Structure 1
Amino acid sequence: MKGVGIAVKNTFRGGVHPAGHKDLSRESRLRLFDPKGEMVFPLSMHIGKPAKPVVKKNDEVKVGQLLAEADGFVSAPIHSSCSGKVKAIEKRRVLGGGMAECIVIDNDGMFTPAEDYTQRTDASKLSNSDIIQRVQKAGIVGLGGAGFPTAVKLQPKNADAIEYVIANGAECEPYLTCNDQLMRIHSNEIAEGLELVLRLFPNAEGVICIEDNKPEAIEAMSRAVSDKPKISVRTMITKYPQGGERSLIQAVAGVDFPTSKLPADVGCVVQNVGTLYAIQRAVLYGEPLFSQCFTITGEAVAEPGNYMVRVGTSYAELLEAAGGVKEGMEIRKALSGGPMMGIAIGSLDIPIQKQNNGLTLLAEDPVEAAEAVMTSCLRCGRCTTVCPMGLTPQLMCDAAVAGDLERYEKKLYGMDCIQCGSCSFACPAKRPLTPTFKQAKAEILEKRKREGGAQK
């Protein structure tokens, strides 16, 4: 599959160059934050079936202890990130504004571990099956935002056909800098995690992709793999959405493929560097996934920084640790993630989940600003030029607004949209293209669900 469709280069088709704003937090070293408040663990913090509780009210738990087991192949177990007592298993408000079943723990502030996570296993004594089982048991999911169970991703139909294992260190989302810091500080661990994954794919080479605005991370990762012939570091052109799975595959393998296919179908497996770090901890030390790197940033934050944050911590408590809201400012927009693909938050009293990697608090609302100057489509074609999927956003928007979802889906391939926001960013008319596509996709999926239920 190498070189099919487009030329191999260190970037991808389309894309935009939003202001990075990474200077707010990029030099803030990762530090562990131990929360004091109650901890909330949604049973569905991954793609697939929600986990099934194995604890009950009033049970005593410790750090790393299993709270809920995977309920199916595409599911992931959940472990406690604190010690204390189970307060309740009930519906709580979560990211997105809805209510979801959660395990609530009264945090005792001691963070007593369930096991010793300092004893290292000899990797040479582990089989491929052992590696996958340890990843699954640890509850590792993709930490780049999607939350797909990693053990499933590591078991494609044909492991021998995988040519590239791509480590995603691009961190192209504006404002976020936690992966940059993770690569600077834990480069050796990330490299070991990638080596463990490469053992599963005998014909693959490892490629660590980092945008060229992270020179310290590039240097650290290059040192870490200098004695590893199957792994190389690729410096990528800084452009959004370089960190998208398909964008990386375009840049590394020269392969362009539709969303109907998976990366494994074109010989690639992509893992975020945070996921590889978690794999190293799980396989070599038996440590479950109960914390991840996280950036809290934005002009409205008093002390932007990078943290190793425990799953279940509330956004509100982490904001307190970052000095709260900057004096003289107010939060006009709160986003889980960054400004391009982040999810707007109405309340910070919700838990941080496994796949969350940032909180951006803005002193100005870019959506309000865009709405104030929005005009009709200018037919300039900029949205089409920047779309990394090669779609026609202006026509997709017209179809969605007109309610012609069949044209949107079947003629314009609207379901291939990855909702990266590049078209909205580039639009001089300030049309809400990406929100319109999100709504259209949701309506199409809901229709499919209804029709599927009716057929049963």
Structure 2
Amino acid sequence: MGLFNIRKSTFKHGVHPPEHKEETNGLPIRQFPFAPLIILPMAQHIGAPSQIVVREGQEVTRGQLLAKAGGYVSVPLHAPISGTIRKIANVPTISGKMSMGIYLEAFPASSQEVLEGTPVDVETATAEEILQGIQDAGIVGLGGAAFPTHVKLKVPEGKHCEILMINGIECEPFLTTDHRVMLEQAEDIFTGIEYLLKATGAIRAIIGIEANKQDAADHLEKMIPEGAPVSVKVVPVKYPQGSEKMLITSVLGREVPSGGLPIEVGVVVVNVATTAEIGRLLPHGRGIQERV
């Protein structure tokens, strides 16, 4: 399936704030130096906090499980660096509230290789096994909400997912992380889409991208695997185009009922960076320990 541009296709109203994306949209992704000490709150996501399974003084390897999921609407936490657990105590979160947290001191000479786990084979795994693999990897929505992805992907009984919508809009000023992910991690994105199609039962996927990222749209169009039920849709630049309900209206002309979810109109929406992480982590059984 090919790229198609319908620039007049969009939702009503919206605003056009200054974009300020040119400062970073041309810069390649680089590895940030590992900090000597990392503080990890257990409440980094929507839902129940993660439950710590390590102890003070314990040495851990990057990618090792530090905390298990605190319930269904929760995810585990994996070590972002190899090092030593120096302290377990209450720490402040970005919300201003307190949470139990881990103080992890890095090994100064470590190569920081990531621990491998049990791979999830997209060819043989069931939808439930893929959802479990996504939860085990600690994957949450990377578009900002940090809602556990396995919960979002679970199609309620009596509902049907027809279309998987991959959200590559990134309409907020200054932000260019999704833009760079689409340019540099296309293979991971399409691997992630393969997992997501099977997990949701969707028959096709559409990648939505704003017109100010035409290079990413062109690149992904060229990278679509032969025969894959995937297309790319470019939509006008406007805020809040990246809101999933607005995106569905722009791309499909469907309106999600007030108070309803996208599945009410046969759609599941997943952020493009989240999709790339699924494609990067599940084939190796790894837990998420970094993001762009």
Q: Which amino acid aligns with 2:100?
A: E
Distance between the aligned counterparts of 1:68 and 1:228, measured in 2?
A: 40
Distance between the aligned counterparts of 2:202 and 2:44, measured in 1?
A: 33
Distance between the aligned counterparts of 1:45 and 1:203, measured in 2?
A: 29
Q: What per-residue deviation string (whole Å, max 9, x for no partner) do you get for residues 355-403 of structure 1?
A: xxxxxxxxxxxxxxxxxxxxxxxxxxxxxxxxxxxxxxxxxxxxxxxxx
**CA contact 1:191–1:221 (8 Å) conserved in 2:** no
Q: Which residue of 2 aligns with 1:115?
A: 115
Q: Which amino acid aligns with 2:259?
A: S
SS at match of 1:291: coil
Shift of 1:69: 0.6
Distance between the aligned counterparts of 1:22 and 1:161, measured in 2?
A: 37
TM-score (norm 1): 0.59
Q: Which residue of 2 aligns with 1:193?
A: 192
User: Structure 1: 5+ residue runs without aligned partners?
Assistant: 1-7, 294-456
Shift of 1:32: 1.2
**CA contact 1:82–1:111 (8 Å) conserved in 2:** no
SS at match of 1:269: strand
Q: Structure 1 residues 140, 120: closer, same or farther in 2, change over 3 A?
A: closer
Distance between the aligned counterparts of 1:116 and 1:285, measured in 2?
A: 6
Shift of 1:114: 5.5
Distance between the aligned counterparts of 1:182 and 1:159, measured in 2?
A: 35
Distance between the aligned counterparts of 1:70 and 1:259, measured in 2?
A: 31
Alignment of 1:74-113 (within 5 A): 74-109=73-108, 110=110, 112-113=112-113
Structure with the larger helix share: 1
Q: Which residue of 2 aligns with 1:156?
A: 155
**CA contact 2:161–2:200 (8 Å) conserved in 1:** yes
Shift of 1:259: 4.9
Are 1:273 and 2:265 an aligned pair? no
SS at match of 2:222: helix
Shift of 1:159: 7.9
Distance between the aligned counterparts of 2:81 and 2:286, measured in 1?
A: 14
Shift of 1:292: 0.8
Q: What per-residue deviation string (whole Å, max 9, x for no partner) do you get for residues 122-151 of structure 1?
A: 532322222111111000000000111011
**CA contact 1:159–1:200 (8 Å) conserved in 2:** no
Q: What per-residue deviation string (whole Å, max 9, x for no partner) do you get for residues 183-242 of structure 1?
A: 001112101101211112334320000101012111111112152441100011111111
Of the two structures, which has the highest relative contact order with CA contacts closer than 8 Å and spacing of 6 or more?
A: 2
SS at match of 1:289: coil
Q: Which residue of 2 aligns with 1:34?
A: 33
Distance between the aligned counterparts of 2:201 and 2:256, measured in 1?
A: 24
SS at match of 2:18: coil
Shift of 1:274: 0.6
Shift of 1:267: 1.2
Q: Which amino acid aligns with 1:13?
A: K
Q: Which moved more, 1:265-274 or 1:156-165?
A: 156-165
Q: Which amino acid aligns with 1:167?
A: I
**CA contact 1:63–1:111 (8 Å) conserved in 2:** no
User: Structure 2: 5+ residue runs without aligned partners?
Assistant: 1-6
Shift of 1:167: 0.4
Shift of 1:243: 0.8
Shift of 1:286: 1.2
**CA contact 1:212–1:236 (8 Å) conserved in 2:** yes
Q: Which residue of 2 aligns with 1:230?
A: 229
Distance between the aligned counterparts of 1:228 and 1:141, measured in 2?
A: 29
Q: Which amino acid aligns with 1:194?
A: I
**CA contact 2:57–2:86 (8 Å) conserved in 1:** yes
Q: Which amino acid aligns with 1:47?
A: I
Q: Which residue of 2 aligns with 1:45?
A: 44
**CA contact 1:9–1:252 (8 Å) conserved in 2:** no
Q: Structure 1 residues 43, 120: closer, same or farther in 2, change over 3 A?
A: closer
**CA contact 1:160–1:201 (8 Å) conserved in 2:** no
Alignment of 1:322-401 (within 5 A): none
SS at match of 1:125: coil
Q: Which moved more, 1:268-277 or 1:197-206?
A: 197-206
Q: Which amino acid aligns with 1:64?
A: G
Q: Which residue of 2 aligns with 1:435?
A: none
**CA contact 1:171–1:177 (8 Å) conserved in 2:** yes
Q: Which residue of 2 aligns with 1:67?
A: 66
Distance between the aligned counterparts of 1:49 and 1:114, measured in 2?
A: 26
Q: Which residue of 2 aligns with 1:392?
A: none
Q: What per-residue deviation string (whole Å, max 9, x for no partner) do you get for residues 312-357 of structure 1?
A: xxxxxxxxxxxxxxxxxxxxxxxxxxxxxxxxxxxxxxxxxxxxxx
RMSD: 2.1
